[in-house]
Amino acid sequence: MEFTIEFEREDDGRWIAEIPSLPGTMAYGATPEQARAHAQALALRVVAERLEHEEAGSEALTITFRAA
């Protein structure tokens, strides 16, 4: 699995990191690095949930995150 993280800066200075291929994985942070870390943690939770519910396939996983 390879996920691309997109970043935006809000008017109030906060950063948003989003992984468009995983709906709902959007996280805020004071810095881009903090937002990225929160989005990655959230993405891993989503993937874990899918694995537990047998929605992610049965093959071995390799997960990569790339900044857009």
pLDDT for the residue 35: 98
How far apart are alpha carbons 35 and 29 in whole angstroms? 4
User: pTM score, two decimals?
Assistant: 0.83
Residue type, 51: L
pLDDT for the residue 55: 78
Can you list the domains of the chain with their CATH numbers? 2-67 (3.30.160)
pLDDT for the residue 67: 86
DSSP for 1-68, written as a single string: -EEEEEEEE-TTS-EEEE-TTSTT-EEEESSHHHHHHHHHHHHHHHHHHHHHTT-S-SS----EEEE-
15 pLDDT higher than 80: yes
Q: Taking a C-beta distance cutoff of 8 angstroms, is the pair 25, 39 a contact? A: yes
